[in-house]
């Protein structure tokens, strides 16, 4: 039997993860390169904060998209009567990279928050509290950051084993986290509005998938969460 790429990735998912890891580092590398070469444009502060925010958001949405993507790809492959990819398990290698993608979102988020705290708030607590009061979109950001920290801290396999089923409950924070992140982007007055709207639409579609899967019987599959992703 000839092996498809999926099969190969499913058996050697280490390679897939190395690939995802290297691709995920590219935005950070480009940012550092531009910073080092003074190529951040006329308003470097704005460039730093928007670019890190953009990538944190993109990785967050990719993480959120893994489960629906697996379902949709499986469905499409069935429709197209392809030889491979018809089984949900054919796409399991996507789930193996999910935690890493989530942590990359947290990585870019830390840059984003660090840039704000260092270059704008100057590590002054009184300033930060004043800014929270002045700018409502920062409260959304602060709560989202707390949620992300919780998720990142509890991401190792060990924490997952120790927490048992609480882990699953805690990691449902991902959904409010995405809503908060989108609210933050929509309320931020200076981002390109279309981009924030695009993020909002994508998030809405991905969350809608969950709602359908949760409440409509014919959409529900027990292996859909990816937690039971075994061959």
Torsion of CA 7, 10, 16, 20, to 10 degrees: 110
Cβ-based nearer residue to another protein, 17 or 135? 135
**DSSP 8-class letter at 219:** G
* 119 counts as binding another protein under rule CB under 8 A: yes
One residue of 80, 126, 134, 216 binding another protein per CB under 8 A = 134
122 binds another protein (CB under 8 A): yes
**How many Cβ atoms are within 10 Å of 157's Cβ, its own excluded?**
8
Could you tell me the sign of the dihedral formed by the alpha carbons of 76, 59, 129, 134, in that order?
negative
* Largest Cα–Cα separation, the chain: 66
Nearest to another protein of 112, 209 (CB atom): 112
125 scored as a contact of another protein (CB under 8 A): no
Size of the site for another protein (CB under 8 A): 19
- 181 to 200: interface string for another protein, x by CB under 8 A: ------x-xx----------
Question: Looking at 74-82, 98-106, 114-122, 202-210, which segment touches another protein (CB under 8 A)?
Answer: 114-122
* Residue among 17, 44, 89, 227 that touches another protein (CB under 8 A): 44
**Cα(141)–Cα(185) distance, integer angstroms:** 9
Is residue 155 within 8 Å of residue 103, measured between CB atoms? yes
* Interface residue list for another protein (CB under 8 A): 40-46, 48, 119-120, 122, 127, 130-131, 134-135, 187, 189-190
């Amino acid at each position: 039997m000839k092996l498809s790429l999926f099969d190969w990735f499913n058996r050697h998912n280490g390679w897939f993860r190395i690939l995802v890891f290297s691709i995920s580092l590219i935005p950070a590398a480009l940012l550092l390169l531009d910073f080092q070469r003074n190529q951040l444009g006329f308003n470097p502060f704005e460039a730093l904060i928007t670019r890190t925010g953009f990538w944190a958001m993109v990785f967050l949405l990719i993480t959120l998209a893994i489960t629906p993507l697996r379902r949709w790809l499986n469905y499409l492959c069935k429709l197209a009567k392809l030889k491979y990819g018809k089984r949900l398990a054919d796409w399991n290698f996507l789930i193996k990279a999910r935690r890493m993608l989530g942590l990359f979102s947290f990585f870019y988020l830390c840059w984003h928050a660090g840039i704000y705290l260092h270059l704008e708030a100057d590590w002054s607590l009184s300033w930060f509290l004043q800014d929270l009061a002045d700018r409502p979109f920062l409260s959304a950001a602060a709560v989202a950051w707390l949620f992300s920290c919780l998720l990142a801290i509890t991401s190792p396999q060990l924490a997952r084993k120790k927490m048992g089923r609480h882990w699953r409950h805690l990691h449902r924070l991902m959904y409010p986290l995405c809503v908060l992140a989108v609210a933050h982007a929509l309320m931020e007055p200076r981002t390109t509005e279309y981009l924030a709207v695009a993020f909002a639409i994508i998030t809405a579609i991905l969350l809608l998938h969950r709602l359908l899967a949760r409440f409509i019987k014919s959409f529900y599959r027990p292996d859909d969460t990816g937690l039971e992703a075994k061959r």
